A = this chain, B = another copy of it.
C-alpha cells in the first residue's frame, strides 16, 4: 500500500492506494469512529464490493443506499434520494457518507455530504480507474444540469480516499480506457517524463499489469494532490486540470449524459486542444501528433462526434465554468508537460479546429 497526502491544512487527507485494501479491517475505523454511516453505491457495484465494504465498516453498522448506474443519474433529483434516506433514518450532523463507486457515485455522494445539514464528512472508495486517478481526489463534488456538466456543486474535501486496485480487475475495457484519458492529461499539463513513460508503458498498462497500474495511479494522485494543495478552489493553477474538459463537457452535454463516457469525451477533447494549440503556433505539430497517437492507442476517440456541428459545440462550450464575462477560456498546451489557461485565440481558429476534427458522418 502506498499513501499520497493532499495537504490542505486542517482539511488534509490521505489517499491510500494498493491491492487488498477492501479486505483490510480497521482501515477506516479512525475516520468513522462514533459516526453513523450511510454507504452510497450503485446497482452494478453493490453485488461486487458491498459485502467487503460492509465487513470493514462492521463497527459502524452502516446503512446502505443503492442508486441506479450511469451519468444520466447524476442529477439533483437523485441527490435528493440521498437526503431522503438520511432523514428517514434520522441521521444527524454526526453522520458520515461513504461513496463506493466511480465518478458519478463519488460526485453525487460528495455533494450530498456537502449539503446535508450544511456539511458532514465523507469517504471516497473509488472503484474505477477514472475515479481513482481523478474524480475522488480534490473535493470537487456536484451534479449535472441538462444544460451543463457539474453546474451545481460544492468544494467539499473527503476525509479519506481508499483506492483498492483490485476493483479495476472487473472493469469493462471501455471504462478502463476512459480512466487513461485523465492519466495522459497529468503528463500533458505538468510532467513530460510521465508522458514519455506512458508512451513506453501503455501496452503493459492496457494489460492491467499491477506494478504499472499502481505507478500510474500513484503518480496521477501525486500530481493532482500537488495542484489541489496549491489551489483548492481553482483561483489559478487548478484550472489546468481541465485540459480537454471544456470540449469534453460539451460532448457529454450535447450527446446526452452517458452516451460517451467522461474519459472518452476528455480523450477527444485533449486531442482537439492539442490541434488548436498547434494551429495557434503554441505547440509543435509533432507533439500534437504524439498526443493523438497516445490517445488512440489507449482505445479512446481522437475526434469529436459527428452528431454535433461546430456551431453546437461552440454554444455548449460557452456555458463552461471557466468562461468570464461571456468570454470563453481554454486550457491550451505550450509543450508536452506545460499548459496555460487563455482566451488568446480567435473564434475562427476554434471553429476551424472543431470542423476539421469531427468524425465523418
Interface centre among A36, A87, A88, by most B CB within 10 Å? A87
**Closest CB in chain B relative to A35 CB, distance in Å:** 9
B-contact bits for A42-85, CB 8 A (1 contact / 0 none): 00000000000000000000000000000000001000100110
A116 within 8 A of B: yes
Instruction: Give A299 to B76 CA distance when docked, in angstroms.
Output: 40
**CA A323 to CA B324, docked complex, whole Å:** 43
A154 to B318, CA, bound (A): 28
Contact between B80 and A151, CB atoms less than 8 A apart: no
Known contacts A76-B80, A115-B115, A145-B87; A94/B324 CB under 8 A? yes
Number of copies: 2
Cβ of A11: which chain B residues have Cβ within 8 Å of it?
none
B115 A321 Cβ-Cβ under 8 A: no
Instruction: Report how far A318 CA is from B311 CA in the complex, Å.
Output: 54
For the complex, is A119 an interface residue (Cβ under 8 Å from B)?
yes
- Report if A154-B83 is in contact (Cβ < 8 Å); known contacts: A324-B92, A326-B92: no
Q: Contacts A94-B324, A94-B325, A145-B87 given: A155-B118 contact, CB under 8 Å? A: yes
The distance in angstroms between the C-alpha atoms of A117 and B322, with both chains bound, is 10
A82 nearest CB neighbor, chain B only: B152
* Chain B CB within 8 A of A243 CB: no
Q: Does A249 contact B (CB under 8 A)?
A: no
Convert A226-248 into 0s and 1s, putting 1 for each residue whose CB lies closer than 8 angstroms to a CB of B: 00000001000000000000000
Q: How large is the interface on A (under 10, 10 to 19, 20 to 34, 35 or more residues)?
A: 35 or more
Q: Which residues of B contact A320 (CB under 8 A)?
A: 92
Partner of A154 from B84, B114, B150, B323 at Cβ < 8 Å: B114
Chain B nearest CB, measured from A49 CB (Å)? 28
Q: Binary interface profile of A, 100-118, with partner B (CB < 8 Å = 1, else 0)? A: 0000000000000011111
Q: Considering residues A118, A154, A155, which has the most beta carbons from chain B within 10 angstroms of its beta carbon? A: A118
Q: Within the complex, what minimum Cβ distance (angstroms) separates A99 from chain B?
A: 17
B92–A34 touching, CB < 8 Å: no
* Chain A residues close to B by CB (< 8 Å): 34, 36, 76, 80, 83-84, 87-88, 90, 92-94, 114-119, 140, 142, 145, 147-148, 150-155, 233, 318-326
- 18 A-B pairs with C-beta separation under 8 A: A34-B325, A76-B76, A76-B83, A84-B145, A87-B145, A87-B319, A92-B320, A92-B323, A93-B321, A93-B322, A94-B323, A94-B324, A114-B154, A115-B115, A115-B152, A115-B154, A117-B153, A118-B150
